[in-house]
Amino acid sequence: MQLRGKTAVVTGAASGFGRAIAAQFLAEGATVALCDINGDGARAAADALGGVAITADVTDGASVEAMAVAATDALGAIDIVVNNAGWSHPNGPLLGVDEATFDRVFAVNVKSIFHAVHTFVPRFRAQGGGVFLNVGSTAALRPRPGLTWYNASKGAVETLTKSLAVELAGDGIRVNALAPVMGETALLETFMGQADTPEARARFVAGIPLGRLSQPGDIAAAAVFMVSDAAEFLTGVSLPVDGGRCV
């Protein structure tokens, strides 16, 4: 029970990496607010796993503040915030991405962290510390063609993680990131830019030395360690969970 007594907020928790992270946190003894813009999905996940479901739009500051209030009312003071909610444009030529899509990608992937920081840092300071875990991507470290604007958004997450870590360390606030390789989630075909066929998978898996895509459980296991007291001396770290992709 590595997270016994901890309270956590996980965004994008209705499915994919977020749901797996929430499930593993619960299994490790944490109480968890499963937050998602898909309120029905969040409630279904909470019904299946435990925890509290909260509907929230991470791109909207007022919604994130309301999420924090609801989570605190339900769980007490929050120890851990996992900024997992993410979005991408389809894999394809960079000039094919319009401004509205670009704005959406950066709002979900980057502006969400801005809102989380503004919302939770005052609370963390008041209680003497806390942990942020941002879900980035190997796209920031080894970008693939076809995902330029998504890659750039995850590059921002990488830099934000390091800058926040050094600025907030004196407050007892740790900030780290995970950098998953392409995984088996609802966004897989978006990242591929084509149907999920065995042939398509083989082309992407060819660049991963351990020979498979990431699984939500891989990301969840890494997340547990990074937010636990076992990692209390780690901050500003971006941990690739990538089967060797970034070597």
Whether 150 is catalytic is yes
Contact (Cβ atoms closer than 8 angstroms) between residue 204 and residue 239: no
Residue found by looking up tokens 């939500």 in the block = 216
Contact (Cβ atoms closer than 8 angstroms) between residue 224 and residue 83: no
Instruction: Please state, in angstroms and rounded to a whole number, the distance separating the CA atoms of residues 213 and 206.
Output: 10
Short-list 208, 104, 111, CA closest to 160 = 111
Instruction: Kindly tell me the burial class for residue 236, based on how many C-beta atoms sit within 10 Å of its own C-beta (0-12, 13-18, 19 or more).
Output: middle
Query: CA quadruple 166, 132, 180, 196: dihedral positive or negative?
Result: negative
Q: Of these residues, 17, 106, 120, 150, which one is catalytic?
A: 150
As annotated, the active-site residues are 150
